[in-house]
Amino acid sequence: MKNRLEHSFLGFLYRIGKTLLTILLLIVLAVVLVQRFSNNQLGIAGYRIFNVASGSMMPKYEVGDILLTKEKKAEDIRKGDDLVYVGEVDDFAGKIVSHQVVEVLPKKDGEYHFRTKGINNLAEDPIVAEHQILGVVSHKLVLLSFIGRVMVTPLGYYSLFLIVIIMVSIQIVRCLFLDREEKEDEEEDGGREENNERTEVDDDVETL
């Protein structure tokens, strides 16, 4: 009975761990798909999720980190905020950039403008206009970032995939083993009940 309880408890913990890991992997996959097919225009309640594609903001953000951004009024953006914006000129054209505000410029042509720069870059970016901004970084999602960094390299991606396959295989074997053990326990319990019933009948016969 004790072994059965231990197996059930370990199986329960394993299932929780496997489920959580699967959910995290699915979230990362969903982030990648949403970014690709919505062109990073899809947001929920003003929030968007982006993954870091370069080392320009190291050591603050590493390649593969997952960032949560929130929409913010241009007049409320301050020096030191990390902007996520769509580049429009030169090598930045069409790219999603996550860089730090180094100076808030006066309003021009009805829009605020900002000077931004990657922490790890020597040169500043082209001036960023208000309409280019997708959001301001609110948090780095640590758990998702860890998985994201692992999945950046082919070795890390396939290693993680292999781990998931092994976990699922172990779970299948464990379920088969537990099912067999439960059937054996049920058969033993059934045998005991049969013996008890026979004993009760014998007792009744003796009483008569």
**Tens of pLDDT along 145-155?**
676 666 666 66
Which of 68, 18, 20, 73 shows the shortest CA–CA distance to 48? 68
> What are the residues whose beta carbons fall under 8 Å from the beta carbon of 200, sequence distance 6 or more?
none
Q: 164-187 pLDDT, tens per residue?
A: 677 667 767 766 776 666 555 555
C-alpha 149/C-alpha 23 separation (Å) is 17
Which CATH class for the 39-146 domain? mainly beta
Q: How confident is the model at residue 136 (pLDDT cuts 50, 70, 90)?
A: very high
